[in-house]
Amino acid sequence: MSNSLPTLPEILHKSVVACSRFFKIETLQLKFSNGEQREFERMKGGNQGAVLVVPFYDKDTLLLIREYAAGTHSYELGFPKGLIDPGESDLEAANRELKEEVGFGAKNFTALKKVVMAPSYFSSTMTLFMAENLYPESLPGDEPEPLEVIKWPIAKADELLARDDFQEARSISALLLVMKNHR
């Protein structure tokens, strides 16, 4: 296996072709090192990134939320998550999202991994955290309805993975990382 990275393509031109409140779609005219030219489209991230937190209520129990997901028009189980606000660190955002979505802050955070969703089409990153030593504290959130907070035994993680309403890849990745690192 080679350790050398390929030369990145040259960006010949880029332009925004569509915008919404949340997304910008950008087209890129690229020239690869072999001379091939192609046009790619991507959703351009317009934020500081995002966070997802796997909170431990106690050493054996996780906290999940049930939240409406517009993309699938369903209610999904997952972990608290949200965007990093301007001027906020990823750790500060993780603690704020915990307080907004589950009514707890945390004394201890462990960064698990930084992930990218669909890197061929999307440029935003998300930092996955594990949170322990929770304390009660609530902040008002931006959700349109109250979120249901669910306690789930880590010993039944396989049952969670088998559920039809636990299907978000970022939450699954975070749970698998926690299962690997939290023994």
Same domain, 14 and 80: no
Q: Has residue 126 been placed in a domain?
A: yes
How remote is the C-alpha of 91 from its chain's centroid?
A: 13
Q: Has residue 15 been placed in a domain?
A: yes
Q: Has residue 133 been placed in a domain?
A: yes
Q: Has residue 5 been placed in a domain?
A: no
User: 118: domain CATH number?
Assistant: 3.90.79.10
Same domain, 21 and 110: no
Same domain, 86 and 33: no
Q: What is the pLDDT along the chain (183 residues), one digit of tens a residue?
A: 567 888 889 999 999 999 887 778 889 999 999 999 999 988 876 668 899 999 999 999 999 999 999 888 899 999 999 999 999 999 999 999 999 999 999 999 999 999 987 777 777 889 999 999 999 999 998 888 889 999 999 999 999 999 999 999 999 999 999 998 765
Q: Has residue 135 been placed in a domain?
A: yes
Three-state DSSP class for 100?
helix
Q: Has residue 2 been placed in a domain?
A: no
Q: Has residue 55 been placed in a domain?
A: yes
Same domain, 145 and 66: yes
Q: Give the single-character DSSP code of 78.
A: E
Same domain, 18 and 54: no
The full DSSP string for 122-178 is B--EEEEEEEEEEEE-------SSPPEEEEEEGGGHHHHHH-TT---HHHHHHHHHH
Same domain, 79 and 157: yes
Same domain, 134 and 156: yes
Domains in the chain, number: 2
Phi-psi sector, 3: left (phi>0), alpha (psi -120 to 50), beta: alpha
What range does the domain containing 171 cover?
50-181
Alpha carbon distance 170, 183 (integer Å): 21
For position 169, what pLDDT does the model report?
Answer: 93
Same domain, 33 and 92: no
SS (H, E, C) 26-47: EEEEEECCCCCEEEEEEEECCC
Q: Has residue 65 been placed in a domain?
A: yes
For position 5, what pLDDT does the model report?
Answer: 83
Cα-Cα-Cα-Cα dihedral of 161, 164, 167, 171, to 10°? -50
Residues 6+ apart with CB under 8 A from 64: 77, 78, 79, 149, 150, 151, 152, 160, 166
Same domain, 155 and 98: yes
Predicted TM-score (pTM) of this structure:
0.86
How remote is the C-alpha of 178 from its chain's centroid?
A: 15
Same domain, 60 and 29: no
Same domain, 25 and 79: no
Same domain, 172 and 103: yes
